[in-house]
A and B are shown apart, each in its own frame.
Chain A
């Protein structure tokens, strides 16, 4: 397999992750929030008002984080743009759907429809960069970002690309929040999201984010990390199967469980879904530094992209911030990081990052 490295990152999230604005030294706390929304940058730095006037929030976040990522990597035009999004451009979809109903299908504005397609973000990036390369968008629940990453790995193996812009983007809107709340996805009681794991009740906290990564096959000291492998598996019947998937994933990468320096887990505070993570921390990862992240960004379909941002920074800085530590293990040299996440026990994924 070709070695793949992360050369640049642009991450807009509910934390101060964009423009080196403070995370993890400063952790944002939203005591009364029902869901976690991104801290939006001043878009004008990259997007002209004439261009941004039709863009919804998620398109602007996508474009801005993509451009930040490319700037950091000092790449003008990637060979391919591949994104994952669970729900795509929700705000424009809702806007158009609402106008159809309210205006009884008459005299509708076309703009929200035009901007509603799932590939709007990757298309707008290609337009912005005048990039004629391969352009894909995956939209499959908790496999969206993972599929985009797998595709990227295939592209490098096929020698079809030397640089790829990879992104995971999802937005939360008031309507989506209300619907998913009624579906029981979120906690009903008031909580402090930073103490998400303390409640042991049903439901998580909703969030959103837009994380872009510039992937390259060129080794460089300045690279964040090496991406070694991704594996997605669907509806495993029991925790034994999950454990086996993890062990066999590691062994395919010539690693044993003991070689994992940090395990980043998708713990989201929902007692119906966290059990497997606790089991792993008590069994195969009992001597491993375990970390979690959804108390910082919330739960969403492409939340694993926030985990990848976290892993890349741990490897680059050789430092695990206290705010993500699940257990207390001595600081060591961090070489291998495993991310394990699942979306509602349906879409499970494993991601292996190693030092560059």
Chain B
């Protein structure tokens, strides 16, 4: 149980880049990936901007050298690309040399194809191409990734809405600490679908402009898509293989807000518990956190609730904090994985990321997010928040070694 868990590889695909290098470059240039959609077939195409990955399904398949005749959901394609980068980055050549697991996460799985199927199916239940529906469930993309990478020892999928992939990373770390596995590829994926677009639209929390997290005039979120995976390895095999370590996953915590199915409690009660649990697990004091990568979706409710929770937990010693959702959009089930990759990049590159589009201080908060990119700053401990529907709150802490 005392075994430490280290991050040895990262992989990401998102609106701001299709590898960790490209993402870092966009961050440095303060370049947001949010714009009107090129690929999603929706009546809101010219009205609502997204953080879309700038490749068609065909192009994604080509990158993976998958025969284009094969129908694979966009969700699986995005997940395969990011997981593959993570494995390569960790320089894993032989997957079966250690007990290896894949813990993935997604909120709507292969919904991008189910929508196509349903168009025909609801008119006549004998119709609709079955190949468009077999990837519907959350487990499908996970199994596609596992099969591509040859992972057999343990695979599963977590689906807790927007905290899904943070939970996958937390479960992955616990499997290693409990000596069930030596190595876990953990993270998550979601693609933009009409289902989620229309869902968030009915909640009236989609900003028609680029989102402005933690701004007094914030007016909702932008949806994004992508995937983020990290490779977690145990101290045991790292010592054996003398591998390069990116950072340590030191703390994690999950708690339920138990307030409302969609809204967060006004004081961020569940978020406070999650952050405190993670700090306790990491054996860190709040003042030791250098940077918070906030959930910060840009909705009036989330940012107020999360802001209050940060004020409660950190009191007078508020670390630098920002939301990176104005870069990537809110990638739902993938956001915890994408932001885990960003947290590792912050530590490795001595950077603190700006909260794009922030202009006006929130009246109900005393705290202010980071506006400009801060370079050459020692980032020892990063706390990353992910909160989902049903009040599912998760915090991860990554630390320099």
- State the A residues within 8 Å of B (CB): 81, 86-88, 93, 96-98, 100-102, 104-106, 108-110, 113-120, 122-124, 126-127, 129-141, 143-144, 147, 150-151, 154, 157-158, 175, 178-179, 182-183, 232-235, 346-347
Contacts and interface: CB of A to CB of B under 8 A. Distances in A.
B257 to A, nearest CB: 7
B256 A126 contact: yes
25 contacts: A97-B114, A101-B119, A102-B122, A105-B201, A110-B199, A110-B202, A113-B202, A113-B203, A114-B203, A114-B261, A114-B262, A117-B107, A117-B389, A122-B160, A126-B391, A127-B261, A132-B255, A132-B257, A136-B167, A139-B157, A140-B155, A150-B180, A178-B125, A179-B121, A233-B152
Given A117-B389, A141-B139, 7 more contacts: A93-B195, A100-B198, A105-B43, A116-B199, A141-B143, A143-B155, A154-B175
A311 to B, nearest CB: 22
Contacts of B257: 132
A123 B195 contact: no
B135 to A, nearest CB: 12
Contact of B390 (A93, A104, A123, A233): A123
Contacts of B259: 127
A258 to B, nearest CB: 27
Those 9 A-B pairs whose CB atoms lie nearest each other, nearest first: A123-B390, A113-B199, A118-B159, A110-B202, A140-B157, A139-B138, A139-B159, A140-B139, A141-B139
B235 interface: no
Nearest to B178: A154
B70 to A, nearest CB: 17
Interface in B72-130: 107, 109, 114-115, 118-119, 121-122, 125-126, 128, 130
Contacts of A120: 261, 389-390
A220 to B, nearest CB: 26
Contact of A127 (B118, B171, B201, B260): B260
B138 A136 contact: no
Nearest to A113: B199
B392 A123 contact: yes
Interface residues of B, number: 65
Contacts of A119: 159-161, 388-390, 392
A232 B103 CA distance: 13
Nearest to B195: A97
B334 to A, nearest CB: 15
B367 interface: no
B331 to A, nearest CB: 15
Contacts of A234: 143, 146, 152, 154-155
Contacts of B198: 96, 100, 105, 108, 113
A288 to B, nearest CB: 27
A132 B273 contact: yes
Contact of A136 (B43, B158, B177, B201): B158
Given A97-B118, A139-B158, A105 B203 contact: no
Contacts of A113: 195, 198-199, 202-203
B24 interface: no
A137 B43 contact: no
Contact of A81 (B201, B256, B261): B256
Contacts of B137: 86-87, 139, 141
Contact of A139 (B1, B139, B175, B177): B139
A122 B254 CA distance: 14
A194 B390 CA distance: 39
A101 B193 CA distance: 13
B54 interface: no
Nearest to A103: B198
Contacts of A147: 156
A132 B256 contact: yes
A157 B147 CA distance: 31
B345 to A, nearest CB: 27
Given A126-B258, A136-B171, A140-B157, A108 B202 contact: yes
